[in-house]
Structure 1
Amino acid sequence: MYEPIRTKSVHAHGPHRSREEELDIRLAGHFTALLTVTDELRVLAPAAALDDAAARLALRVERLLGHSPLRAAPTEGVADAAHVTALHQRAHMLAGQALVVATQRGDAPSTALAAERLHAHAGFLFP
């Protein structure tokens, strides 16, 4: 009939994360992705507001994970308006995702940061 399973299940025992830990990891991931896009925007369209946002995003990720986020080196290039708009769209989407997770966590500082970034990128996209 059926041959018995001879290997251990990939769903076997082991340490499991709590819901809060999973939400922390997801939120840190969204903020790290948002930080990467923010760093790209800082190179293509420098602004003090973006510098401030990048610093606060990095600090928030550090508080969530316990260590500084990995940061990719932004690409050098010409500030093509279509590319800058696409980056703002991506940042807007990431900020929205972070806002949802931060709200689920009940994390007021993260919720405020995500909402602020969502509003800032929406201001660029929908003047």
Structure 2
Amino acid sequence: MYEPIRTKSVHSTMAGTTSDFPHRSREEELDIQLAGHLAALLAVTDELRALEPSTDLDAAAERLADQVARLREGRVPARTAASGGEPKLAALHRRAHALAGRALVVAASRADTAAAILAAERMDAHAAAQAEPQELTGVG
């Protein structure tokens, strides 16, 4: 029903020579991707810390920074300062929840238990923050 592939892939090396560009393993690619998601989550966490300081967010930021440094072979992640203006807290919590979900998927695919647990905890924390009752204003 299907014909076999008769030609050699253009992506393979020719005559046993190595290519001019470095190749990364799947594990290395997942490390890079996971570090990126966790670094983005750290940036959002730092913004949330600036708007509503809490010990939970402080502890989460330190754990996130530790995981990013571990995945980046000891290189410390860049940290963000408080941004000007007042972004909506709910939007930041939604963004953090989504980033933690992405990190959880990658951590699970590479079997990184520590990062997966941290991402799941952050998802729960941001989901709880979104579910907190909002102050209602009366119609005047």
TM-score, structure 1 normalization:
0.84
Determine the C-alpha separation between the residues in 1 that align with 2:130 and 2:79.
25
- The two structures, once aligned, show a CA RMSD in angstroms of 1.3
Provide the residue aligned with 2:34 in structure 1.
Answer: 27
| Max Rg structure | 2
CA contact (8 A) 1:20 1:105 kept: yes
Runs of 5+ unmatched residues, structure 2: 1-18, 133-140
Runs of 4+ in 1 over 6 A off after TM superposition: none
User: Residue 37 in 1 paired to residue 56 in 2?
Assistant: no
Provide the residue aligned with 1:6 in structure 2.
Answer: none
Provide the residue aligned with 2:82 in structure 1.
Answer: 74
TM-score, structure 2 normalization:
0.77
Provide the residue aligned with 2:58 in structure 1.
Answer: 51
1:76 positional shift:
4.3
CA contact (8 A) 1:43 1:76 kept: no
Determine the C-alpha separation between the residues in 1 that align with 2:25 and 2:78.
24
1:97 positional shift:
0.2
Determine the C-alpha separation between the residues in 1 that align with 2:37 and 2:99.
6
The letter for the 1-side match of 2:71 is: L
1:124 positional shift:
1.0
CA contact (8 A) 2:47 2:80 kept: no
Determine the C-alpha separation between the residues in 2 that align with 1:49 and 1:71.
17
CA contact (8 A) 1:44 1:77 kept: no
Listed one character per residue, the Cα deviations across residues 84-106 of structure 1 (whole Å, up to 9, x for unaligned) are 00000000000000000000010
Runs of 5+ unmatched residues, structure 1: 1-11
User: Residue 61 in 1 paired to residue 55 in 2?
Assistant: no
Task: With a CA cutoff of 8 Å and minimum separation of 6, indicate the structure with the bigger relative contact order.
Answer: 1
CA contact (8 A) 2:93 2:129 kept: yes
Percentage identity across paired residues of the two chains: 57
Q: What number of residue pairs does the alignment pair up?
A: 113
